[in-house]
Structure 1
Amino acid sequence: MSRPITIALLDEIQDGFNRHDVDGILSHFADDCVWLMARGPNAPEGRRCVGKAEIAQVLRGRYAEIPDMRWEEMRHWICDDTKALSEWVVRGTPAGGQPFEYLGCDLWEFRDGMVVKKDTYWKFIG
């Protein structure tokens, strides 16, 4: 059953990211989802993660490495019944590393109200 894309839905997904709730995040993703990370070995798209299992592994690893990672100053836009955009500032300090702060955005694609693609972009602040 399809559900509409709303600001509340995008906030719910983002709240899962801030709680580091991998299962909660992925409950909003389709089984055949794709996440194009902001950087990685596959230029120009960065790292391509396919499916919930791979995305879960990446997220759990990231949260272990950056236990205070959080997304703030969140803004969302709904483009139509299949696309949305989120803008944010992500902050955190990797274990044994220096604090970071990036201005970024996610381009979201949905099918039947479930995330099928999350395409992330960011740039360093400071």
Structure 2
Amino acid sequence: MENQEKIALLKTFAEAFNKHDIETLMACMTPDCIYEGSAGTHAHGTRFSGAKEVRQSFLDIFKAFPDAQWNDDTHFVSGDRGCSMWYFTGTYANGKQVEVNGCDLFTFRDGKIHIKDSYRKNRTK
């Protein structure tokens, strides 16, 4: 899989996230995928292992933020690694808005995303 194909995969993944299209999101990932969320009690954040856990983590994000979006996304790929930079916006059910810059580091395997490792700014306000 060439770098341009991987960039196209990351664009498809981001578009699916913005549409809250769980089927397309998961189709971009390996069956034994890993998602390391940016928040959590461990150094790696919260780890979701396998398609079932990763799927549920995305559904939980969409439930918490019904309007969740990655904006101004930019993608870079080199070999089996990739990076997406984005500006996340979302609104909690109570009306509180979230706006934060972040990035995802990806590891590819067999033409799909195997690991998604998320990082974001920690806003204090």
**Do Structure 1 and Structure 2 share a fold, with TM-score over 0.5?**
yes
Q: Which amino acid aligns with 1:13?
A: F
Question: Between Structure 1 and Structure 2, which shows a larger proportion of strand residues?
Answer: 2
Provide TM-score, normalisation by structure 2: 0.91
Contiguous gaps of at least 5 residues in structure 2: none
**1:39 aligned counterpart, secondary structure:** strand
Measured in 1, the distance between the counterparts of 2:92 and 2:103 equals 21
Contiguous gaps of at least 5 residues in structure 1: none
Contact 1:5 1:113 in 2 (8 A): no
Which residue of structure 1 lines up, in the alignment, with residue 29 of structure 2?
A: 29
Out of 84, 109, 112, the residue aligned to residue 110 of structure 2 is 112
Measured in 1, the distance between the counterparts of 2:23 and 2:56 equals 11
Q: Which amino acid aligns with 1:78?
A: V
Matches within 5 A, 1:1-126: 3-6=1-4, 7-41=7-41, 43-80=42-79, 82-124=80-122
Question: Between Structure 1 and Structure 2, which shows a larger proportion of helix residues?
Answer: 2
RMSD: 1.4
**1:11 aligned counterpart, secondary structure:** helix
Q: Which amino acid aligns with 1:99?
A: Q
**1:37 aligned counterpart, secondary structure:** strand
Structure 1 runs of 4+ aligned residues shifted over 3 Å read none
Report the identity percentage: 32
Say how many residue pairs are matched. Answer: 122
Contact 2:102 2:118 in 1 (8 A): yes
